[in-house]
Structure 1
Amino acid sequence: MNGKETQGMDGVLTLELLHLDGSLMERRRVPNLITIAGKQLVAELLMGRVTALPTRWSIAVGTGIDQPSPNDTMLGAKVDEAPDATPKVEAVKQGDGTSIVRATVTATLQPLPQATVQPLTEAGILIRQGGETAVLFNRVRFEEVNRGPNMVMKMTWEISF
């Protein structure tokens, strides 16, 4: 072993549409793009150059149709956001003896009011530091998901380092 790391940042969003009783309707896993702003935030945290530590993590969803770009600083058309009060970090040993660190953000969007349908096509993690504007850490575009009054939408984002 040469001691050289090859792991970069990688993210995957799992979307689960659940019936109101909690049973699974549909599950999708979609890889995402880490934005330059997200990478910058990680580097600033490592160097101790942030004015405030991240205080709030959430997953935002929208109806934008443009493909993600590293330069994105917001979703194309944000329509909702759900917080995660307890994001998790864990070290995970791989089958080949190496290990990764995984950060997990989970958020749940509640059902919409009766007779309302929302065609969602994008999502991203928003990180807030104190009262500062949110940083769009990552962004993904996916095939349309129609959120409605008869479902809960659970989103789990795993970021591996």
Structure 2
Amino acid sequence: MDLSEKQGLNGVLTIELRDTNGALVEQRRVNNLITTAGKQFLAHLLMGKADALPRRWTIAVGTGLEPANIADAALKTFVDEAEDPAPKVEVVTNGDTSIVRATVTATLPLPKLSASDRPQALTEAGIQITQGNDKAKPILFNRVRFDQVNRGANMVMKLTWEISF
């Protein structure tokens, strides 16, 4: 009987653009990179470091063009962010195996653009975790660089990040 188990940590971002009536305009799924800071954050939680408890989870978007790198500490060109006040954790069992999936979902409001402004050409996103007080610098848990998504003045952007262990 083989009792070994392969553990991994991976994430997938789902991007949905909807018009003001709620109709889906575009949807994409992209894999992401967990940063070194994100892995350190998880290790601190595992070891019971009280100061590691997250206070705020946000998904940030930007216009940076550089590929994701494990050393990334922030988005390359930050544009906007939205908070998930209640991230979720669930266990998914399939026969003798199971995964734990954490989900962070945030909906960016309509951008502050006029109808005549060019759309925001978004190309990157990441989960930011804030610990401690409001002055604490957020930890960039993960980052993804994706093909350009144009967020116009009448577009609501919903971002769902699934992190599986």
* TM bucket, shorter chain: over 0.9
Find 1:154's aligned residue among 147, 155, 158: 158
Partner secondary structure for residue 21 of structure 1 = coil
Which segment drifts farther, 45-54 or 4-13? 45-54
1:44-55 alignment runs, 5 A limit: 44-55=44-55
Q: Partner residue of 1:70? A: 70
Closer, same or farther: CA 57–23 of 1 in aligned 2, 3 Å: same
Q: Match of 1:155, as an amino acid?
A: L
Q: Which consecutive residues of structure 2, in runs of 5 or more, have no partner in the other structure?
A: none
Q: Distance in 2 between matches of 1:22 and 1:7?
A: 38
Distance of 2:67 and 2:31 partners within structure 1: 13
Equivalences for residues 6-155 of structure 1 within 5 A: 6-94=6-94, 96-112=95-111, 113-115=113-115, 116=117, 117-131=119-133, 132-155=136-159
CA deviations over 1:36-80 (Å, ceiling 9, x no partner): 000000001101124241010000000000000001111110111
Deviating runs (4+, > 6 A) in structure 1?
none
Once the two structures are superposed, residues 122-159 of structure 1 have per-residue CA deviations (whole angstroms, 9 ceiling, x without a partner) of 00000011222100000000000111112110000000
Letter in 2 for 1:48: G
Aligned 8 A contact 2:61 2:81 in 1 = yes
Q: Give per-residue Cα distances to partners, 1:79-102, cap 9 Å, x unaligned.
A: 1110000100000113x5311000
How far apart are 1:7 and its partner, in Å? 2.4
Q: Within 1, Cα distance between the matches of 2:160 and 2:15?
A: 7
Q: Bigger CA drift: 34-43 or 4-13?
A: 4-13
Q: How many residues align?
A: 160
Q: Secondary structure at the match of 1:67?
A: coil
Q: What is the CA–CA distance in structure 1 between the aligned matches of 2:28 and 2:123, rounded to whole Å?
A: 12
Deviation at 1:108, TM superposition (A): 0.5
TM-score, normalising length: structure 2: 0.93
For structure 1, the 5+ residue unaligned runs are none
43-52 or 5-14, larger mean C-alpha shift: 43-52
Q: Superposition RMSD on alpha carbons, in Å?
A: 1.2
